[in-house]
Every structure is written in structure tokens, then in C-alpha cells.
Amino acid sequence: PAMASDEPKAKKPKLSEDEKTDSNLLFGMGNPLLDICAVVDKDFLDKYSLKPNDQILAEDKHKALFDELVKKFKVEYHAGGATQNSIKIAQWMIQEPHKVGTFFGCIGKDKFGEILKQKAAEAHVDGHYYEQDQEPTGTCAACITGDNRSLVANLAAANCYKKEKHLDLEENWELVEKAKVYYIAGFFLTVSLESILKVAKHASEKNKLFCMNLSAPFICQFFKDNLMQVMPYIDVLFGNESEAAAFAKEQDFETKDIKEIAKKAQVLPKVNTKRQRIVVFTQGKDETIMALSFLSGLVQEKPLDQCVRAAHYSANVIIRRAGCTFPEKPDFK
């Protein structure tokens, strides 16, 4: 029988000490970039030979793009970088305590660097940046046309991350050791393979969860050697449909079926045999393929279907907003 509405509702049980999420449980390392977002026109895309929906690294021919974007269009600045955004979203979904997520990356000693530090702090992420003055803080031009967005990343300082100058320092490595879940975007494979391998090997040896994202077709194509050096340590591999297709082509999987690609990626050699690799491929509005979630759920050790629901929920919120921004609290049950 349905409960009468005036009966007292059962109180949520208080979490025991063991069930509380600790700080610094989730560790991310990547390229901290300031996003410069603007709605542009097709002429602008054509001028810089950009595809409407893509992510690329800036070349010499794109140098003027950043200035033109700011001069010609109405721009918004948002703290970005794929890994940093993921850590922020996981922190937002978890809410309490603050600083569940740790983030490492390299910035310049400049205004944009200060903005990135401030935005990480506002999102309650524990950001630890290697700050250098050889290169300015990295930026990413997000050129929006209709439902599409073309990303052009000028890594600059982000490309200067050094294992021995930052990751190896005792107080920083302690934060790595404190974590139980690790997430690094494939984008960081272009910057510091040795840093990724040090973290991946630690996770594998300690039977902790190491996650990586394919990030972009160009990573699967031009950085596949680096990617395949890390692959044996990857417990959870993320990607979207175009990245999965590029990966399958480069690995000679001889299939374009996304479910088959996921299965083949799932059985690639793996060092830590205590964990089966999980492969998760998103397909925009189409179903998410999972071969046996995402970060906030994995950190809180939730069942995988709930992880996927959490991911769909947060993607649904963020896709409607400019940049990687979100309301004060999630409405996720």
C-alpha cells in the first residue's frame, strides 16, 4: 500500500566514515587551456581550413586565428582542457567533500594562468600547476557554427610539463599515491608520455583504476605508438564514434562496427589481470556502447550502469551551456 503523505519520510542513513569520499581520490593530469569561445561563420572556418566538428593542434597557419577570433567575434573565456574539465565535472557531481579531484598541468606566469588557477579553485578542484615563464598559458579556440564546434588548441605552456620538475617532487607524488582513480586524456600523450607511464604503472601495481580517453582521431593516428605504450595499463578506455573508427583503422581491426571495435579494444594485452578492461564508446545522441561511467560514479564505486547514467546526465547539462560550466548543484538521483 502507498504510504500516507503525512507519515514521516525515512531519513537518509548517515554515511559511515568508511563510505565517505576522501579528498584527492581522483587524479587527473593534462593540458590546462583557457577556452576562447565564439560563434563564427563558414567563411572563418574556410579561411583556416577547419572542419565544422573537429579538434586539432594549432599550426603556423592558425597563429592569426586567435587574434582574429577576439577582434571579429563576441568571445567568452572559459577554463578548459579536456582532463581538467572532466575532473571538474566529477567534483561537481560528487559535491562533498571539496578537493576530491586533483589536477596537474603546466601554465605560464600570466593573466590567463591566474584565471585557470582561480577557476579550478572555484570548482573545488585541487589544482597543482607547474608554472614556467618560457611559454604563455595555453589556449583553445572553440569556433562554433550551429550545433558544431571546431577546436583549435595552442598548447604553449601546456606542452612544457616536465616529469622531473613537477610529478617527481615528493609533495606532488604523494597526491598521486593518495588517489584511487586516475584519468588522463589522450591529448596529454603529445606532451609527456613518461609522466603518463609513471602514473599508469603505479595504478597497475597497486590495483587502482587507470582511465584514458582516446580524445581525438589525430591521437589515434599520429600518436598511436605512445597510445599503445600506455594501453596495457588502461583499465577503462573512453572514446567517441569517430575516435573509435580512427583507432580501429590504425590497429587494423578490419571492422567499422562500433560494438566489434569495443570488443577488440577490450581484449588488447593488459598488465594488471585483476581488472578486466572496460571500453566505453559514446555516440552523441545514440546509445553508449560499453564493453566489459563514469568518473564520479567510479570514484564512489557505483555500479557501471549508474556510472553511465551519471555521465549522460552531466553531458546533457553541460552541452546546453557555453564552455564547460554547470549550475550550482546537480539534480541527479
> Cα-flanking dihedrals φ and ψ of residue 149, to 5°?
-145, 130
pLDDT band at 296 (very low <50, low <70, confident <90, very high): low
pLDDT band at 73 (very low <50, low <70, confident <90, very high): very high
pLDDT tens digits along 83-99: 999 999 999 999 999 99
Which pLDDT belongs to residue 304? 87
pLDDT tens digits along 155-183: 999 999 999 999 999 999 999 999 999 99
> Cα-flanking dihedrals φ and ψ of residue 142, to 5°?
-105, 105
pLDDT band at 295 (very low <50, low <70, confident <90, very high): low
pLDDT tens digits along 107-128: 999 999 999 999 999 999 999 9
* Contact partners, residue 213, CB within 8 Å, separation at least 6: 82, 86, 183, 184, 185, 186, 237, 238, 239
Which amino acid is located at 119 in the chain?
A: K
Least confident window among 151-155, 194-198, 268-272, 273-277: 273-277
Which pLDDT belongs to residue 298? 61
3-state helix, strand, coil in the chain (%, to 5): 40, 25, 35
Rounded Cα distance between 321 and 332, Å, is 17
Among 74, 124, 130, 83, residue whose Cα is nearest residue 106: 130
Helix axes 193-205 and 170-178, enclosed angle (nearest 10)? 50
CATH of 26-33+81-137+156-319, one of 3.40.50.261, 3.40.1190.20, 3.40.640.10, 3.40.50.970: 3.40.1190.20
Which pLDDT belongs to residue 3? 43
Which pLDDT belongs to residue 321? 82
Per-domain boundaries in the chain: 26-33+81-137+156-319
- Mean pLDDT, range 243-269, rounded to an integer: 96
Among 176, 116, 120, 160, residue whose Cα is nearest residue 140: 116
Please give the grid coordinates belonging to residue 272.
594488471
- Beta-carbon count within 10 A of 118 CB: 12
pLDDT band at 20 (very low <50, low <70, confident <90, very high): low
Average pLDDT of the chain is: 91
Tell me which DSSP letter residue 220 carries: H
Rounded Cα distance between 207 and 274, Å, is 7
- Mean pLDDT, range 40-58, rounded to an integer: 95
Tell me which DSSP letter residue 163 carries: I
